Homo-oligomer: A and B are copies of this chain.
C-alpha cells in the first residue's frame, strides 16, 4: 500500500450547458494573466462546427477592389502582431441582475485573458483594397444552427464598423499563448477585437465581407442589444465596448474567516481607457481605501489588485471593489438592467463573517 499524501486540489471550468458548450472560468482561482486553454471560458451559440481544415481558405469580398482568398500559410506569412487582451462575454455576471433575466446564468467567470498573435485585419485589407462606400465589415463563422426564435439555419455572423475593423489592433488571430488557437476557441482563425465584448471576436472565421449598410444579422440586431424595457424594444442600443468592471476573487462570497490578516484580491478591466485605481470598502461602502495594483495597468488587459485587511472585531462585513479608468469612468453602484442581461458591471460586492 502506498503513502496517501495527495493534497492536490484544482479548479475546473463551470458547466452551464453542454450542447452548445457553455462553461465559465473559475475566475476566483485564476491568479495569472494567461488563462490556460483548459480554464478559458467557452461560450457558444451552436454545436461546434465540423469542417475540414486542410481545405481551409479565408475569403474576403464585398466592397473591395479585389476579392481574394487567403490560405492559412499566406496569412501566417504576413507581418504579425501580438497583444495581451481580455475577452469578456457580454453576458458575464448576468446571474446578478435583479430582476433576473433569461439566458445562461453566468457568474463572474465569463472572462479570460491571454496573448493573441495574428495579423491586423487592416494589413489584410491592404491586399484587397476597400471601396469608398464601405461602412461595415461582416465576419461569418463556421458555426451554425437553429435559433429558438426562428426555424431557419443561421450562421454566427457579426459586423464591425469600418473604423474599428481598420484599427491596427483588430486581429485575425491564429495563436493563443504561443500555440495554435485551440479548436474550441476558433481554430484556425478567429477575430480578436480588443475593448469590445467578446461576441465581436468571431471564431472559426469562414468569410469576411465589406458592406455599405448596417448589418442586421440576429446576433447583431436581436441579440447583443441592450433592451432597457421588459416588454418593448424602446430605447435599444447595440452592445459594443466593455464597461469598466472589477471582480473580487478572494475572499469567497459568504466565507467565514478568522480574525486577523486577510488579503482581499481581484481583477479590474475596462474597454475604454486604462484602469487607474481600484478602491476597496470593508464597511459596505461607507469608507474606501485604495488597493495596491499588483502590476502596471495596460490597455486591453485586466489589472490584478490586492488590499491587506486587518480585522479584529467579529461580525459580518460587506466588502466592495470599484475601479476607475483614465477617461474619468467609474464603476457604478448599480448596473443598468436590460432584458437580455448584458454589461453587468455594478461595484462588486461580497459578504463575509468573521468569527
User: Which residues of the other chain, B, contact A17 by a CB distance below 8 angstroms?
Assistant: 252, 255
- Residues of the B chain whose Cβ atoms lie less than 8 Å from the Cβ of A26: 15
B183–A254 contact, CB under 8 A?
A: no
Which of chain B's residues have a CB closer than 8 A to the CB of A29? 15, 18
Q: Given the complex, which residues of B lie within 8 Å of A16, measured CB to CB? A: 252
Tell me whether A83 is interfacial, beta carbon within 8 Å.
no
**A47-B14 in contact (CB<8A):** no
Per-residue CB contact flags for chain A residues 1-31 toward chain B (1 = under 8 Å, else 0) read 1111111011111111111010100101100
Q: Which of B19, B51, B253 contacts A9 (CB 8 A)?
A: B19
Q: Which of A99-107, A234-242, A274-282, A327-335 forms part of the interface with chain B?
A: A99-107
Residue A12 contacts which of B13, B53, B103, B149 (CB distance < 8 angstroms)?
B13
Dominant SS among interface residues on chain A: loop
Known A-B contacts A1-B53, A102-B255, A148-B258; A18 and B11 likewise in contact (beta carbons under 8 Å): yes
Chain B residues with CB under 8 Å of A103's CB are 254, 256
Number of copies: 2
Looking at the assembled complex, report how far the CB atom of A56 sits from the nearest CB atom of chain B, in whole angstroms: 7
Kindly state whether residue A286 has any CB partner on chain B within 8 Å. Answer: no
Given contacts A13-B12, A29-B15, contact A3 B54 (CB under 8 A): yes
CB of A184, distance to nearest CB on chain B (Å)? 7
Does A353 count as interface, using CB distance less than 8 angstroms? yes
Q: In the docked arrangement, what's the CA distance between A19 and B51, Å?
A: 43
A-B contact pairs, 7 of them (CB 8 A): A1-B72, A2-B53, A4-B52, A12-B15, A14-B15, A15-B26, A18-B29
Top 4 nearest A-B pairs (CB, nearest first) are A12-B12, A9-B21, A11-B15, A102-B353
- Residues on A close to B: CB < 8 A? 1-7, 9-19, 21, 23, 26, 28-29, 42, 47-48, 50-54, 56, 72, 100-105, 146, 148-149, 183-184, 187-188, 252-258, 316, 351-353, 355
